[in-house]
Homo-oligomer: A and B are copies of this chain.
Amino acid sequence: MARPQSPDYDTRRQLILDTAADLIAKEGFAGTSVNDVAAACDISKSLIYHYYSSKEDILFAAMEDYLSDLRLVVSEAVGANGDGETRFRTVVHSLLENYKNAGAKHRVLLQELDRLSGDRRKAIVEGEDEIVGQIAELIGGIAGLGADKSKTRTAMTMLFMGMVNWTHTWFDPDGPINADQLADMATDIFLRGVRG
């Protein structure tokens, strides 16, 4: 008879992911040992290997976990009612709201991509590209860029992604400006800047 799965299985799996993301965000992937993760979870290193078969597996799972949240949030905002500018503004609010709640995973997603093997890196990059592609379509519509301007549209979109993705290095949601105010500021600057 197969031994039943622990009732804590999913909870513990998630704890490992969240804890690993915190440590990797602070110390880097190579600077975080599996033992560090185990100690912070108050479990043995061997138990970590019961849930994930390698350190890279943990990194990949943490990235997938957060990226799937982002994809959901962005496609909902993009597919909502309203004109392009309104939906764009909603996307920015959603992104910054999400970053606020998952700062460590966000930094890990942005900074540790090169630590994945080729196949897995490709899988993550594809997910990121789909998000960026949806935002690029919105921006293309707002800026009035035809299909012949795809290079310009891509560069514009990536300049915008920089504005929002860079926030993790300096923005404090509990500081003088909150996430919604920052989202409006970024939206206003960018829309005024690219409006056709």
Contact = CB atoms under 8 A, between A and B. Distances in A.
5 contacts: A26-B114, A151-B177, A158-B166, A159-B189, A162-B165
Given A30-B31, A31-B115, A167 B177 contact: no
Contacts of A165: 162, 166
A164 interface: yes
Contact of A28 (B31, B164, B167, B185): B31
A188 interface: yes
Contacts of A114: 26-28
Interface of A: 26-31, 110-112, 114-115, 151-152, 155-156, 158-167, 169-171, 176-177, 182, 185-186, 188-194
Nearest to A186: B159
Contacts of A152: 177, 185
A32 B10 CA distance: 34
A164 to B, nearest CB: 7
B193 A156 contact: no
Contacts of A167: 158-159, 162
B193 A189 contact: yes
A28 B59 CA distance: 15
Nearest to A143: B189
